[in-house]
Structure formats: structure tokens, C-alpha cells
A and B are shown apart, each in its own frame.
Chain A
Amino acid sequence: MRQSHHKYKNSAAFYDVDGTLIRINIVHAFAYYARRQPSLIESAKRTLMTAASVPVFWAADKVSRKWFNEIFYRGYEGASEDRLVMLAEELFEDVIKPNIYPRTRDLIEESRRAGCRQVIVSGALDFTLRPLAKYLEVDELIANRLEFVDGYATGKLRKPFIAGATKAEIMRDYARRHDLDLAASWAYTDSFSDFPMLAVVGHPTAVNPDLRLRSIARSYDWPVLDLDQAA
């Protein structure tokens, strides 16, 4: 008996990615690109620079996600779009796929079976997430986009920056356009910085949460999922 309970016809499930569906984050992707340079010397140089920048990224992220984006994405300046897209496939196979949490696909499958539209809302770069979105068979990918001029990255993000409160705004907008009921929708994230995306849906769910989000989830009686625990 194949059960297909489409109980939630006007609902969506919004997923953050880094730390929520996969173990790694955008810095891993950045480091991967840094290692994949045409020459060994350039690879070594970029890798060292990335390693040296990690504390700066961390500090910037603590202060403001906007600052972090400005500093972090500058590292992509001069990279060709073709190359980034091509490397994204390798990035997925080599780095992202082995780091998908064991129960990620199951959660998405349960949500799809319930009839929810599957939407990724991530601050990572769209081209790095496209293979993942395809692999997980989600309906929509909303992610940050790099600005390219003549096929080369300028090191800036196209607006709107997808982070924090903007995620909530994008979700509201998305729900309006697709006639979805946010009160009957789900949001999944691991980080307190995504509190706004949890706050706008009727069914917020903390996934592998950091300490602060775990505490908030307890206070608000939100369910806490651990996708890292094999069934």
C-alpha cells in the first residue's frame, strides 16, 4: 500500500542547508575552490589565505552576517563563472554529498509525502547548492547569487542578501506568490541566526541546533530534530 497523504496542500517546508541538511558550511566550499587553482603555487597561496582568514570570517559573522558576506565573498573576485559552476559538481561529489546528514533525505521524503512544497533557503551560493538541490529533489532553491561581469565574479553578492531577517521576508514573499499558508508550513534550521525564518512559520523545527537555538526551542516548545543520528 503506497500511502500518499497530501494533508498539507498549501504548505511548504523551508530548509536552511549548512549545518541543517549537511555537516559543512560555505567556508568549506570556499576552501575547496581555493584548493582547485590552475597552478600548485596559486592553490597553496589561496589555501593559506583562506586558512588565515577563518578567524576574520568568524569574527565578522559574530558581528553581522552582512559584514561577513562582504568580506567572505570578496574572495571569489576574478573567478570565472564557467569554472565555478563546473567545480560545483565536483564540490558536491567530493565534499557535500559525503557530508549530507544520514536522515536528511528521510526528512525531505516525509515532508514531500505530507504534501509540502520543498524549498531550500540558504545563504550559500546558488551554484554550489544546485547539485544538492537536484539530488534531494527539492522544488525550489533560493540562495545567494554572486555578481558576474563579463563572466567573471566581482566578489560582491547580488541583492537581496539571503541571511537572517531577509530569509523570513523572502519566505513571506514566496508564500504570497505561490499561494502558500505560512501558518501551515515548516522551517528547519540549525542556527539561532535563522530565528526569523523559524518565527514566520506555524511549525518551526530546530535541526541539530546550536546551544542558543536549542535553548530557544525549549522555551518555545519547538521540536528538536537530530538528523545526524542514524535510525
Chain B
Amino acid sequence: MRAIRPRTRPQSREHVVTIDTDSAPRILFSGENFLLEDLPVGTRVIYPKRPLTGVANPAAAIRYALNHPENMEPLHALLRPGMKVTVAIDDISMPLPVMRTPDVRQLVLEIVCEMLADHGVDDVHLIIALALHRRMTDAEIKRMVGPKIWNEYWPERLYNHDACDPDGMIVVGKTRHGELVELNRRAAESDLVIYVNLNFVPMNGGHKSMGVGLCGYESLKAHHTPKAIVDSNSYMNPPDSAIGHSMNRQGKVIEQAIKVFHIETVLNNRSFDGPLEFLMKNEDDFTESDRLKFSAMKWALDKLPFAARREIFMRTPAAYELIACYAGSCEPVHDKTVTKSFEQYAVEIEGQADILITGIPYVSPYNVNSKALNPLLVQVMALGYYYHMYRRQPVLRDGGVLIITHPCSDKFDPVHHPSYIEFFNRLLPETRDAYVLEQKYQDEFAYNPSYVEMYRRGNAYHGAHPFYMWYWGQRGREKVSRVICVGADNATAPELMGWETADSLAEAIAMARTTMGRSAQITMLHHPPIVISDVM
């Protein structure tokens, strides 16, 4: 294995680095391993910002937010003895990787539940607002909420939302656009709902919290469509997101019917620390120790079997810190959250790229603790999330070439993703047209009793979920001319998704240049941690 060469150029913490003849090779995630690649001279590498400093006393910051809310009375003033309160909580899909304990949701819940008890509010249910995501396991819930909340509330008063429970859902109304609004019955019939959000990307939180977290399949149909994705430029930027607008309309219907006190938390981007901190650095700035650590890790990962590598990554939690907590009325709270979120993630860059390179890591919002990042999820990371990590205009220009690095193995977790398996192997060979798939098959999967049963009582994603994953990539698919997967261990899975494969990054770049020309502008997104590009 090649070593990263010592730094010869004085580039320190620049968010946009241009590769020169003496630049170090760059590290790219490729599933449960890394690639170390020399990039062509002139390639632009976009790095995330340095983590913002966490608040010194998270509990105090949370209490301050509860007592000084936006456009609402303080939480304690909303409480009265005997009232019915539901606390909804964001699920395990964020943050990525999972954060070290105590999870920020635990910190919020402990304060909120103590406040509820102090005010004589005993009728309290805690619901994991997972929408059509998989049910969290008992161990996952316990880890997320902490032992104190777990011991007091589980299982009767702390449980997963069930979007398919015919008795547990209620129609709240319709938006002026005719979008159905279904909601968890317990929440809808509560005197007060407190939503505990963990905001990791700008598309989360706000009206999406209630409108999606506690909704049912029929109301998701309003915005989880290929058209809504295509009309979102980008879905990571709320003002330009058609999905976001639809969720906002649904959320407003909910807010008219129910009193909701939103608590939103913003984390910094400290995905790696301690021995892995070098992964947050510009490779040109690596010390001798960083180079040794990377070489040792790469050597070990090359030797280990897939399951062991995956286990290592999944069991390495991130050291995220709370950087802000806001509470109160939905929209003013979320405006502040999004502003803070962009303060951490947004990086200004000049102009679009003709060829975009990005490494796909081992984790996505939908495979936490799963056995693999299956090809559909690789696709959602590439053409969905990473493509959409921009404001104003995409990093990759229309007609450009996207190069990703991932083995793209034909591996699925049959417990978490049973409907993905059928979608990938039965439907994609027939058509990749998201509109046809939506019309022809989405309901079939959504109401398949086996998948409903696995969602409601197993730990499977809802039968319709693989469709959403495919739609999530629709705008990217329509805008990008080619997707080239580097290091794929098979040709079938990428081919089913309409992708090409290359054995090395150099080969992929050569292939991309046949489309985009020798002078094509090449950009690499140095994910993770998350970076959102402000493309000028």
C-alpha cells in the first residue's frame, strides 16, 4: 500500500483544496474500507468545516431553550396536572454514525420528563417517531433514551410508532392542495405534544417532524414521489424543496389541530475523534502519526472479513456535541435550527464541476446496525443525499459524471430490508422508471401483508420504503449523464441501477473524460463528515 506523502505545501484547514503535483493522495470511503487515491492535478477537494465548539453545559442550554421558547410560552407554563402529553422522539436514523452516550435525546428527555412529573402530568407517552422506518429494537431504544427514562416508561409508555395500526392512526385533515394528513392517534388526542428532534441535516426537523415522523403511508404519498424529488432543488435546502413545501402544508394542518411544542437540537460534525481524528483532516496536513495510524488501519481492514469490518465501524460511535438547542413554535424554531445547521455544514465554492467524485461510507440513515449497505442504499447515498448536498445550484453540473467508490455488493439485510430484496431483484430488471414503479407497484408492496407484518412486529422497513429510496435518487438520475462505480465487487448490481463500473479511480476518471473532455473540472467531496456546498 502506498503511503501518504509528507506535506510539502502550506495548506492548512482550507475547505477547498486544489490538488497540485506534490499533493498527498486522498482518502475515500469505500463501504467498510478506504481507498487511497492520487487525484489529477487541478482537482478541487471540498472538505467539511472544522466542528463548531459544543455548548459547555448541554443540560443548561436545553433548560434555557425550554424556558425561553420561540413564539410560545415556556414549557412549564403549558403544563397542568392531569393533562395528556405525548413526547415524540426522532429515531435512530440520525445522527450517523450513532453518537456516544448520552445521546442528546436522552438529555432532553430527562429534563422534559422531570418537568412533566414536577407539574403533576402523569399521562405521558413517549413515542419513537419512525414513520415507515424500521422499529427500533429494545436495546437501541434503551441506548438512545438512557436507563432512567427506559426504566420508568418502557414498554407501556415508551414504544415505536406504528403507521399501519388501523386503530392507532387518525385522519387529522387535508391541506389546501388536497394532501391527506394522518397522524398517530395518541399524539392527535393529546393536550400537548412535545417533539424532541435531533437535527443532523437541514431537511430534518420543522414540520417534517410531526408531519412525517408520526404519519401513515397514505399521507406520505403526498410528497414521497419522484415528481416531488425532481422538483426539489435541493431537498437539503428547505426553501427550494418541493418535498419540504408539502410537508410544511401538512404540518400546518397538524399545528391547527394540536398544540405542539418543538424542541430542536443541532449537533456539530465531529464524526471522528481520538484515534480516528485524522479522518477529519486534510491529507496534506497529516502528521507522521496520522500516516501511521491510517496505514495500520488500512492494513487491518484489508485483512479482516466483511462482517468484522462492519462490526468495527458500527461499534465506533461518533463524538458529536450539542451546538444549539431551540424550542417553541415550529417555524421560528426551525428557522434558527437551519441557520445553525448551515453554519456548521455550508462551504462556499466557486462554480460547478463536470466530474464529481465521492466516497460512499458504510452507513446511511437506513442501515444503522444492519448487516450491509445494500445497493439501493448506495444509490440513495450517491444520487440522493450526496448529489443534493448543495444550495443554489448542484456541485455537479447537469449532464456531468458522478464517480463513487463502493463495493456495491449484492448484500441485503433480510431482517431490516426484506422488501428491498424483492424491489431490487424483481422490479429493477423490469424498469428503472420511477414513475412507472410508483404507479404500478408501490401499493402492492405497501399493502403486502408479509411486509406489513414484518414492519409492525419485526424490524423491517415498510414495504414501500425501497420505492422512496429509488425516488430519492430521481433528480440525480435525471441530471447526471453517467454514474461510474469504482471498486464494485460485481457488475450486476451497478448495472441494474444503470451504472458503469471501473477497477480504479484513474480508469473511472478516464472514462468520465471521454464524456466531459480532457479539461473537465473535477471535484471531490470529502465526505463524511457532512459538507453542504454553497455553489456560487
Contact = CB atoms under 8 A, between A and B. Distances in A.
A and B interact physically: yes
Interface of A: 1-5, 7-8, 13, 103, 106-107, 110-111, 113-114, 116, 186, 188, 203, 205, 218, 221, 223-226, 229, 231
Contacts of A225: 450, 453-454, 458
Interface stretch (B76-84, B163-171, B235-243, B278-286): B163-171
Given A110-B452, A114-B452, A223-B418, A5 B447 contact: yes
Interface stretch (B102-110, B125-133, B421-429): B421-429
Interface string B245-261: 00000000000000000
Contacts of A106: 453, 456-457
B453 A224 contact: no
Q: B-side binding surface: helix, strand, loop or mixed?
A: helix
A13 B449 contact: yes
Given A8-B447, A221-B426, A224-B414, A1 B169 contact: yes
B166 A2 contact: yes
B12 interface: no
B490 interface: no
Nearest to B422: A221
Most buried by A among B166, B449, B451, B457: B449
A19 to B, nearest CB: 17
B457 A113 contact: no
Interface in B428-473: 443-444, 447-454, 456-458
Q: Top 10 nearest A-B pairs by Cβ distance?
A: A231-B457, A111-B449, A110-B449, A7-B447, A223-B418, A3-B166, A221-B421, A114-B449, A205-B450, A110-B452
Contacts of B451: 223
Contacts of A103: 453, 457
A212 to B, nearest CB: 16
Contacts of B458: 225-226, 229, 231
Interface string B174-210: 0000000010010000000000000000000000000
Given A7-B444, A106-B457, A221 B449 contact: no
Interface residues of B, number: 28
Contacts of A218: 414
A30 B197 CA distance: 57
A186 B447 contact: no
15 contacts: A4-B166, A7-B444, A7-B447, A103-B457, A106-B453, A110-B452, A111-B449, A113-B166, A114-B447, A114-B448, A114-B449, A221-B422, A223-B422, A223-B451, A229-B457
Contacts, number: 69
Contact of B171 (A1, A107, A110, A113): A1
Contacts of B448: 114, 203
Contact of B449 (A2, A186, A226, A229): A186
Nearest to A108: B449
A7 B443 contact: yes
Given A3-B169, A106-B456, 12 more contacts: A1-B170, A1-B185, A7-B444, A103-B457, A110-B452, A111-B449, A114-B448, A205-B450, A221-B422, A223-B414, A223-B451, A229-B458
Contacts of A229: 457-458
B167 A2 contact: yes
Contact of B456 (A2, A188, A203, A231): A231
A165 B419 CA distance: 28
Given A1-B169, A224-B418, A107 B425 contact: no
B449 to A, nearest CB: 4
Contacts of B422: 221, 223
B463 to A, nearest CB: 10
Nearest to A11: B449
B182 A1 contact: yes
A221 to B, nearest CB: 5
Interface in B143-176: 164, 166-167, 169-171
A110 B453 contact: yes
A186 B458 CA distance: 19
Contact of A223 (B185, B443, B454): B454
A110 B169 contact: no
Contact of A221 (B425, B447, B450, B452): B425
Nearest to B455: A110
A113 B165 CA distance: 11
Interface in B72-129: none
